[in-house]
Amino acid sequence: MRREREYKIAQKTSVFRLLKDKMAGSVMFTFTAVSVLLLILIGMGLVIKSLPILQEKSLWELLFTSKWKPMRGDFGFLPFIMGTLWVTVIAIVWTLPVSLFTAIFLTENSRAWVKKVVFPALDILAGLPSVVYGVWGILVVVPWISDSLAPHFVEYSTGYTTLTAGIVLGIMILPLMISLFVELFSSVPRDLREASLSLGATRWQTTKYVLLKKTFPGIVASVTLAVSRAMGETIAVLMVCGNIVQMPTSLFDGCYPLPALLANNYGEMLSLPLYESALMLSALILFVVVFVFNIASRLILRKIERTLV
């Protein structure tokens, strides 16, 4: 009788556990589906809001003309697209070697106390609001460029340039890139390094031919993620880029990236439906570009995971 009672209790417990597992699985699937659905809804909302301008103008005309006069119905996004590309490329070009060599030093050569100092500092930098970087750029980088650097190359510069925006943006994404590279290099098995060293290779040869070669796809994926992050930064870039609607031709020209266009103008000209639609199209362009970059980075990361297994 006692055994029968224990058996029934165990059976009920087992059924209850299975029910809890199914409920937990359903809840997690629901939240996952909501996340994906939210992404789809954002994209659909931007497409719907962009339809009026797309019905009035061809996509080619919108993306590849530079005349921007909303009151006259001219919406050429090329200056904003080029401004975004200039600032992003400048940020990546100087940030990539700095973050790469910093990550190599932290994973391969640094002592434990160095990591205890550097990692919290990176966390603080990553957590600072973007407006703080913008204020720092105005107080430090803008005067340095206008008074010290630009006079060697151009006659006059206000300091609010694509170079300024690229420097500030690069500092903003630096903690992200270092963290990604450190995590990437740490995933390489220690045995590979020791095997290389045992064969007579130097530390730099081991880093070059083992570490960097093994993680190259992951480095590309990390840079892709950083680019997608950089393209969406708004406040700090807006504060130092100059906000001039023009095609940049040098590092010391002002520019007007797409995020700055949205932040500066949305809400002011909503009485013009076509202007609102044009701003929504700029948001859609950013959405598509960031989405494509993230998908590409995920595919590359999947490839590297297969090679490391």
What spatial distance separates the first Cα and last Cα of the chain, rounded to whole Å?
Answer: 53
Residue 2: pLDDT over 60: no
| Amino acid, single-letter form, for residue 91 | A
What pLDDT score does 101 carry? 92
Interhelix angle 78-104/213-231, rounded to 10 degrees, is 140
Cα separations (Å) of 301 from 103, 173, 225? 18, 19, 11
Distance (Å, whole) CA 200 – CA 191: 15
Q: Above pLDDT 90, what percent of the chain?
A: 25
Least-confidence region, from 51-65, 82-96, 213-227? 213-227
Residue 133 to residue 126: CA distance in whole angstroms: 11
Q: What pTM value is reported for the model?
A: 0.84
Convert the pLDDT of each residue in 10-51 to its tens digit.
555 666 666 777 777 777 878 888 888 888 899 899 999 899
The one-letter code for the residue type at 78 is L
| 3-state per-residue secondary structure call for 239-267 | HHCECCCCCCCCCCCCECCHHHHHHHHCC
Report, as an integer, the average pLDDT of 161-167. 94
More confident residue, 116 or 296: 116
Distance of alpha carbon 293 from alpha carbon 221, whole angstroms: 9
Mean pLDDT over the full length of the chain: 84
